[in-house]
Amino acid sequence: MPIAGLARAALAAGKAALPAPDLRVAAGMMPRLNGQMVAGAVIPLGTAALLALIAPQFVWDIKLGDRPILTLWAGMTIASAIFTLWVWLVSRANHDAQPTRWTVAIILGVGLIARALILPTTPILEDDFYRYQWDGAVTAAGQNPYRYPPARFVTAPAIEGLLAATGVKPTPPPPGYQALAKAGRSTLLRVNNPHVATIYPPLAQLGFAAGHTLTPWRLTGWRIVVLGAELLTVALLIGALRAGGLPMIWSAVYWWHPLALKELTNSAHMDALLLPFLAGTLWAVLAQRTRLIALAVAGAAAVKLWPLVILPALLRRTRGAVVLGVAAAMGAMVLIAPQLAALSADAGLSRYAADWERNALAFPALVALISPFASDPAAIVRLVVAAVIIGWVVQCWRRDATAPADRIRAAATAVLLLILLSPTGYPWYVLWLAPFAVLQPRLPVLVVMAAATGYYFDFWAQIQDEPDRWRWIAPLLSAGPAWLALAVERYRKTRP
């Protein structure tokens, strides 16, 4: 795969820059290094212990009200806040860009230990992986995952009621799906929004199929795929740090982050497949490999569509870069052609783009603001959000920043705006910023990653007698601090 080539190139480019261990230097550095590492390492290991301890109380059959939701929210919030403070202090310390090999070894080792503790645990407050399992089984069987919604293949009172409410008629499984429907019945009964066909692009489907091939109808295989993607991500980020002459300790910003441990290792979100492409893109920017930028972004768009939007911010305003940008867009269209061929008003991607709203702060506020003046305010706000993000990217492209760091910063701001203005504020979406945070630990980016744990509070609100009284708190906790941090950063930048 192209991204594997990116990883090899990134690590090869930085190998010469990392000297062989000098025991005299190491001896002098280890006390300071140990102090920093021990302080930081306690956080991912403590997070892993917390998740492993409470995960058994989140199995499917336990009612939501009987699960320790507030413990999860408080524990993850405290861990993320302390980790953010640690990152902020470490990023402002005077570090050698290329210290001994102990730095990388300790960071990788601690992160792997934390993940090993979490891998066997029950996914907490999460069921998206059931969709991945069904999609993977369909794809591995050579069928089209975009053609039918999962609810077509199973009968149960709840699903039949959902089908009736949404206007989908239950029908027998089409030819080629009967065996899948029988083998995957328990999975089908747990797929969320089963009346909607899959929204995930083709490259993600290949990842799901790989997980199914490893362990059919079990989560273990998919978790192996996720772990492989995470390892590739951190390898590319280490290569990017070397290419940019940045401290290796910054790789912990991703590899040790409590949010990554919860949403990728425990909850097994498919966004892990996107991160290697984003990390490879940033390495290519720092290494000034324009063709690889276009290639990596095209691959990213085959996992999630949005990276195409930020491509102009990452490229120079030259004729060659424009040609490569167009080629990347065309390549992405080829990669997602199977999904585009199945696109319709009822397709999963169409329904998601038009209807989905969850844990957002700015979006519903804007909808409420224009509701008296529009018949479909949500659609108008979606267009406004798209215009704001595209406008920012176009403005950055017209500025034609020559420094790679400036282009990375511009792209990170676009992703930050996408997350804060989106109608869906899921914490795993916030991890799109993790590769950017490793290379540029900016306050707004670090804060939004820390505050994303506010999402878990919404599950507690759902079980209250009057949930609507509490539902505004989770979006405020998730996005409010990030907006404040963005305002502080802007004020400092414009202050005389």
- pLDDT tens digits, one per residue of 300-343: 999 999 999 999 999 988 888 889 888 988 988 988 888 888 87
Q: Where are the domains of the chain?
A: 2-126+217-494
User: Looking at per-residue confidence, does 329 or 214 come out higher?
Assistant: 214
CA distances from 370 to 183, 243, 391, 425 (A): 49, 47, 21, 21
Please give the full DSSP string across 269-282, using - where no structure is assigned. Answer: -GGGGTHHHHHHHH
Identify the band that residue 95 occupies on the pLDDT scale cut at 50, 70 and 90: low
Determine the pLDDT at residue 160: 63
CA distances from 358 to 364, 426, 471, 474 (A): 10, 7, 10, 10
- pLDDT tens digits, one per residue of 380-436: 999 999 999 999 999 999 888 789 999 999 999 999 999 999 999 999 999 999 999
Average pLDDT over residues 147-154: 82
| Range in 12-16, 362-366, 415-419 the model is least confident about | 12-16
- pLDDT tens digits, one per residue of 474-485: 999 999 999 999
Q: Model pTM greater than 0.85?
A: yes
Identify the band that residue 5 occupies on the pLDDT scale cut at 50, 70 and 90: low
Contact present, 242 and 32 (Cβ < 8 Å): no
> Whose CA is closest to 211, among 222, 223, 200, 226?
222
Contacting residues for 350 by C-beta, under 8 A, at least 6 apart: 343, 344
Contact present, 314 and 297 (Cβ < 8 Å): yes
| Range in 170-184, 215-229, 452-466 the model is least confident about | 170-184
Check whether 230 has a pLDDT greater than 70: yes
Cite the DSSP H helix spans in 55-124: 69-91, 102-118
SS3 (DSSP) at 176: coil
- The pLDDT mean for the chain works out to 88
